[in-house]
């Protein structure tokens, strides 16, 4: 009898307790060998054999197999689980059972699991039993070097002993016929390429690469210089590109590992290679790596003036990097003569990229070295408008204003108007009023910032925020009686809005202290 609210039937309890005599007794009295225990959701899905395999009890597995437990019927994953755990004794029992019953188990995924977990003996046991499919061997090789699994596994990637296990398994697989230039393929590769070309990314913000080789995968993992060298020694093509045109050197910039990049360069990696968007490894390094990596690529001949299809330079990429130490890269590129006001096809300059990174130090450096603070993008936005809209922080806004950022746009709207639509309107408005901006300047529609606060639909659901903004503007001299192009005042607009219970006459010109949480 099985109770979903317990750990299953008596045979499951006996297996978990390791009571071999009780297991044999229960089986003698007719216990169902294929009985399933509840999983964490309460569903009866875990066969007795799987429980024993997960516990690593080869003796219990043998008893269950002798009692006609059938892994091909109950759970074909048993050999995969044993391989992942590196239990060679259980693997041997399952392989022996498979041959005696002429009932194949999924050795292919078992091999991939063993390789992923760097289980040397388990990998050898499966190879010795006979796996000749090159695709399976090559996918196992990819699994061995793929760092995405390490956080959820028993692998310790920065331990020399474990790295020796990895090298041993890689050599085993290559000796067995794994292709060091095998490209992992996915059924929707074409769609992924199309999405990537238009800036598509996965749920983690990373571009999806369906065609990576073992060398590219290894190069992207920190601490994998040994694995990279082994693959190159076994004739991996150093300049082989994936479906997006990116070589192992592109991937290595993500690892931020100097030894990996040096190894690739010493083996002939093309430092000026371009992908489908004409980005270079230098673009990638400037965006994702530390200054020494960028310096290394430049010393090996990377072109600091290269532009991608969007006319983005390495300086754009460096300005968008969120590392504070990245200022060294920006300075290096500026000293080499890269145009500090280079415009992408959307009109963005390195300064606007720096604004997007919310780094006041980078913004100040670029401005001090000649960046145009008032450059206008193709959607008629300036760096200050972007900074206010994105609410990147008071220090960045103040820096832009210090260097002469225009506070009035082409439509006569002011920075205070822009602040109304900011992600943090109170913060931005307080900052601008502290700089002495006049709250009564009208835009081309005759509206002031106060008019916009009262009429903006976005504030209808947040009366407390709107009231705070109105109070702030009135305290700095905003005139509720200003008439717009429709002949209406702020008070007129307010009368048509429910819950607008402002006493307009109670406010006098005085400075309100900022709320403690606005920065």
Measured CA to CA, the distance from residue 489 to residue 491 in angstroms comes to: 5
CATH of domain 130-185+209-270: 1.25.40.20
Cα-trace Rg, the chain: 32
Q: In which residue ranges of the chain is CATH 1.25.40.20 found?
A: 1-105, 130-185+209-270, 271-406, 410-519
pLDDT values of the chain reduced to their tens digit, one per residue, 519 residues: 444 445 678 999 999 999 999 989 999 888 888 888 887 787 888 889 999 999 999 999 999 999 999 887 767 689 999 999 999 999 999 999 999 988 888 899 999 999 999 999 999 999 999 888 999 999 999 999 998 877 667 777 788 888 999 999 999 999 999 999 999 865 444 444 444 443 443 333 334 456 899 999 999 999 999 999 999 999 999 999 999 999 999 999 988 899 999 999 999 999 999 999 999 999 999 998 889 999 999 999 999 999 999 999 999 999 987 766 689 999 999 999 999 999 999 999 999 999 999 999 999 999 999 999 999 999 999 999 999 999 889 999 999 999 999 999 877 899 999 999 999 999 999 999 999 999 999 999 999 999 999 888 766 556 678 888 988 999 889 998 889 899 988 888 887 765 556 666 665 444 444 544 443
Nearest C-alpha neighbor of 381 from the set 411, 336, 403: 411
Nearest C-alpha neighbor of 115 from the set 56, 182, 174: 174
Measured CA to CA, the distance from residue 457 to residue 420 in angstroms comes to: 11
Read off the pTM: 0.84
Class of domain 1-105 as given by CATH: mainly alpha
CATH of domain 271-406: 1.25.40.20
Measured CA to CA, the distance from residue 354 to residue 149 in angstroms comes to: 34
Whole-Å CA distances, 37 to 28, 226, 377: 20, 44, 63
| DSSP-assigned beta bridge partners for residue 38 | 44
Measured CA to CA, the distance from residue 355 to residue 320 in angstroms comes to: 8
Class of domain 410-519 as given by CATH: mainly alpha
């Amino acid at each position: 009898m099985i109770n979903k609210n317990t750990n299953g039937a008596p045979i499951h309890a006996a297996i978990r307790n390791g009571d071999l005599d009780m297991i044999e007794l229960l089986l003698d009295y007719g216990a169902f060998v294929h009985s399933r225990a509840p999983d964490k959701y309460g569903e009866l899905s875990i066969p007795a054999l799987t429980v024993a395999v997960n516990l690593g009890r080869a003796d219990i597995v043998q008893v269950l197999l002798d009692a006609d437990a059938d892994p091909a019927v109950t759970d074909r994953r048993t050999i995969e689980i044993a391989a992942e755990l590196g239990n060679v004794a259980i693997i041997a029992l399952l392989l022996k059972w498979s041959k005696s019953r002429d009932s194949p188990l999924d050795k292919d995924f078992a091999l991939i699991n063993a390789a992923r977990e760097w289980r040397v003996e388990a990998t050898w046991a499966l190879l010795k039993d006979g796996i000749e499919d090159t695709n399976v061997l090559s996918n196992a090789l990819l699994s061995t070097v793929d760092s995405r699994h390490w956080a959820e596994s028993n692998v310790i990637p920065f331990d020399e002993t474990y790295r020796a296990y990895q090298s041993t398994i890689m050599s085993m697989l290559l000796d067995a016929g794994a292709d060091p230039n095998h490209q992992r393929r996915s059924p929707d590769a074409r769609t992924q390429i199309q999405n990537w070309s238009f800036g598509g990314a996965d749920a983690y913000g990373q571009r999806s690469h369906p065609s990576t080789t073992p060398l590219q995968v290894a190069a992207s993992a920190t601490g994998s210089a040994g694995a990279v060298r082994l693959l190159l020694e076994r004739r991996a093509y150093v300049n082989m590109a994936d479906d997006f045109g990116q070589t192992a050197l592109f991937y290595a910039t993500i690892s931020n590992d100097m030894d990996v990049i040096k190894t690739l360069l010493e083996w002939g990696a093309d430092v000026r290679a371009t992908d489908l968007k004409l980005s270079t490894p230098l673009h990638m390094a400037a965006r994702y790596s530390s200054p020494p990596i960028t310096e290394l690529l430049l010393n090996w001949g990377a072109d600091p003036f290269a532009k991608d299809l969007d006319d983005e330079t390495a300086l754009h990429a460096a300005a968008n990097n969120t590392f504070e130490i990245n200022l060294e890269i920006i300075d290096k590129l500026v000293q080499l003569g890269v145009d500090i006001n280079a415009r992408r096809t959307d009109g963005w300059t390195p300064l606007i990229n720096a604004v997007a990174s919310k780094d006041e130090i980078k913004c100040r450096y670029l401005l001090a070295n000649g960046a145009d603070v008032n450059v206008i993008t193709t959607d008629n936005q300036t760096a200050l408008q972007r900074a206010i809209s994105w609410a990147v922080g008071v220090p960045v806004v103040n820096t832009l204003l210090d260097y002469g950022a225009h506070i009035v746009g082409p439509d006569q709207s002011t920075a205070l108007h822009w602040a109304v639509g900011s992600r943090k309107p109170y913060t931005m408005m307080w900052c601008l009023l502290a700089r002495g901006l006049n709250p009564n300047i009208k835009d081309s529609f005759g509206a002031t910032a106060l008019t916009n606060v009262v009429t903006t639909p976005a504030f209808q659901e947040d009366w407390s925020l709107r009231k705070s903004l109105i109070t702030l503007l009135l305290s700095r001299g905003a005139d509720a009686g200003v008439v717009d192009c429709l002949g209406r005042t702020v008070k007129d607009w307010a009368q048509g809005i429910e819950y607008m219970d402002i006493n307009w006459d109670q406010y006098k010109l005085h400075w309100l202290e900022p709320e403690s949480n606005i920065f």
